[in-house]
Amino acid sequence: MIAVVGLMPSTPAQAEPDIGDVQARVDRLYHEAEQASERYNDAKLELKELERDLTLLRADEKRQDQDFQEVRTQVSDSVVRQYQGESLSNVGQVVVSDDPKSFLAELSTMSAFNDLQSDLFDRYATEAQALGLRQAATERRADQVADLQKKLAAEKATADKKLAQAKGLLDDLKAKEREEILSRGVVRAPADVPASGRAAAAIAYALAQVGDSYVYGAAGPSAFDCSGLTMMAWAQAGVALPHSSSAQTGSGPHIAMSDLQPGDLVFYYSPVSHVALYIGNGMIVHAANPGTGVVVSAVGSMPYSGAVRPG
């Protein structure tokens, strides 16, 4: 019998992975991870606003409660004066009652009710209603904060999962193939950038970070995500940007691609989930992804969405 084992074709499990297919899958996973990361950044900004509102609401509620207690004391004192010399057993219940609705109900059953000054009673009812509204608003905002905190955890978990999947695909490749994927689209940083003023300061900072790591949610000093890098770069020029690529689209006037100048923010994908800093000559510097970190690339290396000029 002639042995033919050596002529058997490789099984799918033994076949080498197609580098083009792996590249496309890695790109998709990195993009999905970045989308989740930028949603995480958006949610953090929203959470900051909600927590600030909640603090103000609680302070307002406290002031309203103080106003309510003052009027409540005045009403109680008025009832006591009406009952001078009489049995105060019912009055005692009114004075110690903490619930506004119960307090009003008790007042309505007392024979002294009609003798109370109408304006004092109206003030009590108004203050009680105002306090109830503030308490309800505080509770609603606290619930929103809790819901958003859950969303933050979910977005972080999504980003971590996609990143782990991409890493697993890259780990299955040979070192040369892995380097080919990770270095795709990366160009050498220019020796000189035609920029001046605040834009020059932003570009100088961003280019100094080339080679740093990409970490979701990071904004330096040695690791960045895309919006963290642009935020810190323009901070060197005294311009405050939010840590979110979509939020940064509102940081200045919109610029046509043909009118780009060094320092402009360039946005990618729809909806926007990536931002870079234009450095001139058709190039950008950006925190690309966890595989390549901060690099210089061509402005058209990703699906272009728009641009703004900060400041």
Annotated catalytic residues are 226, 274, 286
**Per DSSP, what are the bridge partners of residue 268?**
274, 304
Of 3, 135, 140, nearest to 61 (Cα)?
135
Q: How far apart are the first and last CA of the chain?
A: 82
CA torsion through residues 98, 103, 106, 107, sign: positive
Look at the block and give the residue holding tokens 């909640």.
54
Contact 243, 219 (CB under 8 A): yes
Contact 82, 95 (CB under 8 A): no
Q: How far apart are CA 286 and CA 294, in angstroms?
A: 5
Structure tokens at 296: 């210089």
Contact 124, 71 (CB under 8 A): yes
Of 180, 182, 183, 193, nearest to 283 (Cα)?
193
Q: Using alpha carbons only, how large is the chain's radius of gyration in Å?
A: 32
Q: How far apart are CA 304 and CA 162, in angstroms?
A: 23
DSSP state of 257: G
Q: How far apart are CA 212 and CA 138, in angstroms?
A: 43
